[in-house]
Structure 1
């Protein structure tokens, strides 16, 4: 079974599903139209968004931020004949990788001192986001490469364990 690499977008007005520990993807969430001539069986499109502002008084400012990871149903698809629980878990792991990076960004933002926020902060905070998103994209690609787009069950299981451990490591920063 093969799946396409996952693409990420910072902001989108499209229909989106927020990552949740309790709710996992179902095949009904994949509403996009499958590519006709492709070796891939599914495509999961996920991304991160963040926003920030300052709150408080001139004596004590605090960075206020929101980071979310999303799944985009209309940009995600599955070949009807390819639907299986195993492939769905592979696609869910792509979504979990995006949530892992949302948690990493939340941790970085939690450690930004509000007293250091100034007119150049937008560029600094955007750079933090861009670096995390590049890391997320690289991990998505490594996951597909090492698991051979889900065909290597041994690699797939290693990645499932690794991502579960990483999500747990950053549990304090879950949504």
Structure 2
């Protein structure tokens, strides 16, 4: 019985696939309101919030003045930090939130491109970190600009312009998906 209790404790300690801690961006999987698990910010003047971002990792070997490296760049949506106010949202608002996630994917592609086109030396750590910091700064700036210009989706004309721009940029960076 004690062993069964321990097994059950272990199983329930880890998130299931149906309740992930993060969702990888995918062209074939769009966000749904069921993905938003966070507690709404009652004081916010907007009705939903997407928490997404990019992460990267790399490894390298340096041998005989030659460097080889591998890297991985991912864009994620974080369900437990993303929220919406029930009864106040619509499919239109969900598209706005998807656009925020798409902006993160766009910047993941930009970082993949920068890293794949770069030439690194034995100082790879000092050379690669600034690439990430710059792309992350640009990502945050674009997220803020999107919300400011679309007035958190209230300005429909700007919203549609932004959605078209983001889609065009994703297509331009398709090679680095």
TM-score, normalising length: structure 2: 0.85
Q: Distance in 2 between matches of 1:36 and 1:140?
A: 21
Q: For 1:151, what is the secondary structure of its paired residue?
A: coil
* TM-fit CA distance, 1:117: 2.4
Counterparts of 2:95 and 2:61, CA distance in 1: 40
Q: Which has the higher contact order (CA 8 A, sep 6+)?
A: 1
Give a deviation string over 1:56-85, Cα, whole Å, max 9, x none: 864754221000000000000000012210
Pairwise CA distance, 1:53? 1.1
- 1:166 match: 169
1:91 aligned onto 2:97: yes
Partner of 2:128: 125
Task: Find the residue that maps to 2:87 and give its secondary structure.
Answer: helix
**How do residues 57-136 of structure 1 correspond to structure 2 at under 5 angstroms?**
58=64, 61-113=67-119, 116-118=120-122, 120-136=123-139
| Count of residue pairs the alignment pairs up | 158
Unaligned runs of 5+ in 2: 1-19
15-24 or 54-63, larger mean C-alpha shift: 54-63
**Per-residue deviation, 1:122:** 1.0
Counterpart position of 1:6: none
Which residue number in structure 2 is paired with residue 38 of structure 1?
44
Q: For residues 44 and 79 of structure 1, what CA distance do their matches in structure 2 show? A: 12
Give the distance between the partners of 1:83 and 1:58, measured in 2 at CA.
59
Q: Is the 8 A contact 1:63 1:112 kept in 2?
A: no
After superposition, what is the alpha-carbon deviation per residue over 1:82-109, rounded to whole angstroms, capped at 9, x for unaligned?
2210000000000000000000000000
Cα deviation digits, residues 125-164 of structure 1 (max 9, x gap): 1110000000000000000001010001000000011000
For residues 57 and 126 of structure 1, the distance between their equivalents in structure 2, rounded to whole angstroms, comes to: 21
Does structure 2 retain, via aligned residues, the 8 Å contact 1:55–1:64? no
Given that 1:27 and 1:83 are in contact with CA atoms closer than 8 Å, whether structure 2 keeps it comes out as no
8 Å contact kept, 1:53–1:63: yes
Aligned in 2, Cα 1:60/1:117: closer, same or farther, shift over 3 Å?
A: closer
Q: What's the RMSD between the two structures over aligned residues?
A: 1.6
Q: Provide the residue aligned with 2:149 in structure 1.
A: 146
